[in-house]
Amino acid sequence: MKNLINQLLRGVVIGVANIIPGVSGGTMMVSMGIYDTLIHCITHLFKEFKKSILTLLPYAVGMLAGILAFASLIHWGLENYELPTNTLFIGLILGGLGPLLKKIDRKKINAAAVIAFVLMFALIIWMGFQNKDSIQNADTIDMNAGQMLIMLGMGVIASGTMIIPGVSGSLVLMLLGYYKAVTGALKTLASGLVHFDFAAIGQPVLMLLPFLVGIVLGIFGVAKAIEWLTSRYPTATYCGVLGLVVASPISLLIQTDMSGISAVTVLVGVLTFAVGFAGAFLLAKGAKE
């Protein structure tokens, strides 16, 4: 039971991370020491169906709960307390680097591994600057057959980036102009379900259903690619992942509006960083693979 609750909580963390621009759900998986396990279950779903489902289900339930429950709260925090909210996320990212560092064999670090680290680090920093003056996303989208195909494609792109450590699927959605529409649909869906207003959830479901199908397709495709890379080029792959992960906090700070920051805000930011760091550290340390 204790392990089940731990899996659900880690799923919530991953789900919340996936709806925050600049924060990677894949990074959270790495930080909590569950990345390889989840990738293996996804890529071996049909070969080891029962085992994979039993492993993935608690995380999936936690992710869904985290996305639906915290979508509005995350937006409120980012709009009203941007720095403390982002430092909380930075703490979550850095608090569990231990499992990733253990996977890198220092004796096998070569030029390819260093290049992979530098390139992935630079990619995330570049994305942070690209998003500094964020694109104005449309709040709603009029759905038709063409838009449904586009939402399918958005799901493939978002999910693929979501499970790559250090790459934020939400950030990619924002750059493509679909972030507000997707998160708005999620908030409307959550509100409709809570208030049993089933008439209100028709439009969000119409938008999110093809998006969800795209997510499933994207996750399987990218998971296969990652498994292939880690099996053949483990040191270079994990060094690249490390570059993605350690660049994420810098990318978040680049995007943070620092105007009007007070000493109190900085102090609260330090406290939220400590909470996030401790939470990720404990989840990683207490996790049973």
Both tokens assigned to 133? 């003056």
Would you say 166 and 245 are in contact if contact means Cβ atoms under 8 Å apart? yes
- Rounded distance between C-alpha atoms, residue 281 and residue 268, angstroms: 20
Residue 262 has pLDDT above 80, yes or no: yes
Domains identified in the chain, total number: 1
Both tokens assigned to 180? 């507000």
Backbone φ and ψ for 44, nearest 5 degrees, come out as: -115, 25
Share of the chain above pLDDT 90, in %: 17
Residue 79 has pLDDT above 50, yes or no: yes
Of 205, 210, 240, whose CA–CA distance to 226 is shortest? 240
End-to-end, the C-alpha distance of the chain in Å comes to: 14
Would you say 85 and 252 are in contact if contact means Cβ atoms under 8 Å apart? no
Structural domain range at position 65: 2-286
| pLDDT, tens digit (0-9, with 9 covering 90-100), for 83-106 | 998 898 888 778 877 777 877 888
Q: What is the mean pLDDT of the chain?
A: 81
Residue 14 has pLDDT above 70, yes or no: yes
Q: Model's pTM, two decimal places?
A: 0.65
DSSP state, 106? Answer: G
Count CB atoms within 10 A of the CB of residue 274. 14
